[in-house]
Structure 1
Amino acid sequence: MLVCVASLSFILTACNKSAEQITLQGKTMGTTYTVKYIDDGKIANLPTAEQVKKQLDDVLKVVNDEMSTYQLDSQISRFNKLREVNTPFEISPDFATVVAEAIRLNKITEGALDVTVGPLVNLWGFGPDRRLDKQPSAAQINQRAAFVGIDKLALNIEHKPTLTKSVPNLYLDLSSIAKGFGVDKIADQLEMLGLENYLVEVGGELRGKGKNLQGLNWQIAIEKPNFEQGQTVQITVPLHNLGMATSGNYRNYFEDEQGNRLSHIIDPKALKPVNHKLASITVLAPTSMTADGLSTGLFVLGAEKALEVAEREKLAIFLIIKNGDGFETQMSSQFKKLIDQK
C-alpha cells in the first residue's frame, strides 16, 4: 500500500442535539491549539466557553513561562544561561516532571531522544538562533558536541526539584516533549471542570477522552496527501484515553547551498540531521507528553530500529517509509491491537 506523507485531521460528526460541541482555538508555543469538548448540560455552573478558554490560555502561559526557549525570562532560558557547574537550579514541579520523562524516554530510545541536543539544533538552524543557509563545519559541530549528553544533566526531585549541569554550556531544549505536556495540562484542566468528553490538539500533538457527539470514540485520520486534489484518509485511529504524536522530516527542513534537504530532527549520536527512509512516525501512548517524546526519539532511530524498540517495549507506532518513488506503511503489534479495538 503506497502513501505519500502522514498528516492529521479530525473526523468529528455532530448528530446528538441534546449536547453541544464547543470548539476553542488559540496560539501557543509558536503554533496553534484546538480544543473540542462536549457540553451535555449536566455540569452545574460550567464556565462559559470564553471563561474556559481564558483558563486554558492561563495554563499554557505557565508552561511557556517554564519551558519555552524562545522566552528569554523563562525558567529553561535562565537555566541555559547559567554557567556555574554542579550548582542546583530550582525548577517547578511541572518542569521536573517533563525532564524526568525525557530522561526515562532517553533510556527507552537508546539515547535517541536527548533534550540536551539544543546546541546542535541551534547550530543547524532550527532553534531560536537564525536559520543558516549552509551546513556548519566539522569544527563547529565538534565544538557544540562537547556540550551535548543527557549524562551532563542531573535532576534532583527531593524536597524542591532542582537541575544541575556538569558543563557550563549545557543547553536544555524540551521542544520535543513540551507541546505534548501542554496538551496533557489542558486535558487536566478540562477534567477539573468535570468535562469527560474532549479532544485536545497543540501543534499536531493530541489527546482524546470519552466520546464525540455521535457517542463514538474520537477518530483521528492519518492521511495520504494528494497535493493536487486534496487529501485522502490512509488509516483512522480511535483516540480514547490516549495521547498521539507524529514526527517527520517532510515539513520543517531547510535546503543548504547545494540543495540538500536537511531535517529539523537531529541525531544526537551522529551530531547532524537524520538521514534515512522513514518519512514519519505516529505514536499512541497514555499521555501526549510520552507520545511526543517517543515520536522524536523513535524517528531518529529509523524504521527498522524503531519497530524493534516498539515490539520490545510494547509501544504503539505507525510508520510511513519512503520506498522508491512512493511510500509504504508498517505498524507495531500494539498499534494494530488499538486499531482493531475501534
Structure 2
Amino acid sequence: MYFKSWISILISFFSLCGNGSARAEQTSYSLKSPYKIVLTGPAQGTSYHITYFDRQETISKNEIDSILQVIDQSMSIYNPLSTISQFNQLREGTVKLDSHFQKVIQASFEYNRITEGIFDITVAPLIQLWGFGPKKVNHFPDSNEISTTLRSVGMDKLIWKVPYLQKSKPMVSIDVNGIAQGYSVDVLADFLESKHIKNYIVELGGEMRVKGKNLQDDFFKIGIERPSARHDQQLKTEVVRIKSGALTTAGNFEKFMMRGNQKITHHVNPLTGYMFASPIISVTVYAKTAMEADALDNYFMALTPDQVINFVERRKNLEVYIIFKNENGEIEEKFSTGFSTFFLK
C-alpha cells in the first residue's frame, strides 16, 4: 500500500480492462476518427487505468509511469529514499520540497483550516499507534500512549517557508495519504489535457477524474457499489453519469480491526487520538479536482450525515453521496441536491 489504496464503495468505470499494458481499440480507423486508447499499470500500491480518445496514441505508458515514479520519490512513506521519508527521519533542520510536494503541503494547510483541524497530515504517529501504519503492532494503545503521541500531532508543529519544511518537535512525522493520491490523479489528468486530449477517464486506486464523452457520444457512466438495505449487506450498484470532474470515496467497512466486539476503524481523530464515532459507512465525493475530493472524503467520515450535507450545500462544485446506519441500525442513504442530477434516470 502506498497512498489510499482502498475504498469502501468500489468505484468502477465501464469498459476498462487489462493489467500493466497499453491497448488501442478501433473499428474503422481513419485520420478523422478518434479511437479508444487504454493504459494500465501498477502504481502506489494499487493500479491505474487511463482511457482516452484520440486520433493517435498521443501518450505512452512509459510517460505515465515516469510521472508516477517522480511523485513516488517525493511523497511515498514506503520508499525510504523519498523526500517525505527523509523529513520523517529528520530530528531537526529543514527539507527542501519539490514542486509536487509543495502543492500538497500548501493544500494540506488550507484543508486543515477548512476542517478545523480534522484534516491533519501529522496524524501519522497516531495511525501507526493504532496499527494502520507501515509497521505491525501487537497491541492496541492505552490512554497514556495516546496522550504521549498527541504531543507530536498537529500542523502547528510544522514550519512551512516555501520551499522548505521544518518540524518544531523531533518526533513529528507526516503522511499525505489523505490527499496525495487525489493529487496524483489530477497530475495525470492535467498531463492529458496538456496534450490536448479532451475526452478521458483517469483512475488510480478507485479515485478518478473524467472529462468529455465516449465513442458513442455519451458522457461516461460510473458504477458505485454500495450495501443494500438487507441485513446480509449484499452489494447493489448505483450508476451515475459525470460530464467533468472527480469522484473519490472513503469508508470504514473494508479497512478495520476488531478488539473483542469493538470495531476499530482507521479514521483517527487527530484532536483526541481516538477513532471517530459516526454513523456514516461511506461517502462518495464529487469535486472539480480529485485532490479536493480526496482531502474532504475522510473529513466527512467524522461528521453526521446532516453535517456533511450542510457543509457541501454551502460550497460550489462540491457534491456528496452518503451511506450510513440510522438509529435502528438500518442502512440509509443521503445525497446533496447536485449529486441527485448525476443518477441515471
- Of residues 23-32 and 284-293 in structure 1, the stretch that sits farther from structure 2 once superposed is 23-32
- Paired position in structure 2 for 1:144: 149
- Of residues 22-31 and 225-234 in structure 1, the stretch that sits farther from structure 2 once superposed is 225-234
The one of 259, 268, 271 aligned to 2:270: 268
Structure 2, unmatched stretches of 5+, are 1-7, 17-24
8 Å contact kept, 2:11–2:207:
no
What are the within-5 Å matches in structure 2 for residues 1-342 of structure 1? 6-12=9-15, 18-39=33-54, 41=55, 46-47=57-58, 52-84=60-92, 87-130=93-136, 132-157=137-162, 161-225=163-227, 231-234=235-238, 236-256=239-259, 258-314=260-316, 315-323=318-326, 324-336=328-340, 338-339=341-342
**Residues paired across the two proteins, number:** 322
- Paired position in structure 1 for 2:21: none
Larger relative contact order (CA 8 Å, sep ≥ 6): 1
- Of residues 21-30 and 111-120 in structure 1, the stretch that sits farther from structure 2 once superposed is 21-30
Partner amino acid, structure 1, of 2:296: L
Evaluate the alpha carbon distance shift between residue 264 and residue 215 of structure 1 in structure 2; reply closer, same or farther with a 3 A threshold: same
* Displacement of 1:248: 0.3
* Displacement of 1:334: 3.7
Evaluate the alpha carbon distance shift between residue 253 and residue 154 of structure 1 in structure 2; reply closer, same or farther with a 3 A threshold: same
Q: Secondary structure at the match of 1:22?
A: strand
Evaluate the alpha carbon distance shift between residue 12 and residue 267 of structure 1 in structure 2; reply closer, same or farther with a 3 A threshold: same
The alignment's C-alpha RMSD in Å is 2.5
Partner amino acid, structure 2, of 1:181: Y
Evaluate the alpha carbon distance shift between residue 341 and residue 8 of structure 1 in structure 2; reply closer, same or farther with a 3 A threshold: closer
* Displacement of 1:7: 2.8
The alignment-based identity, stated in percent, is: 35
**Distance in 2 (alpha carbons) for counterparts of 1:263 and 1:100:** 28
**Distance in 2 (alpha carbons) for counterparts of 1:312 and 1:111:** 19
**Distance in 1 (alpha carbons) for counterparts of 2:27 and 2:265:** 44
* Displacement of 1:16: 7.9
* Displacement of 1:251: 0.6
* Displacement of 1:140: 1.1
**Distance in 2 (alpha carbons) for counterparts of 1:38 and 1:133:** 50
**Distance in 2 (alpha carbons) for counterparts of 1:16 and 1:215:** 15
Q: TM-score, normalised on structure 1?
A: 0.86
Structure 1, unmatched stretches of 5+, are none
* Displacement of 1:341: 10
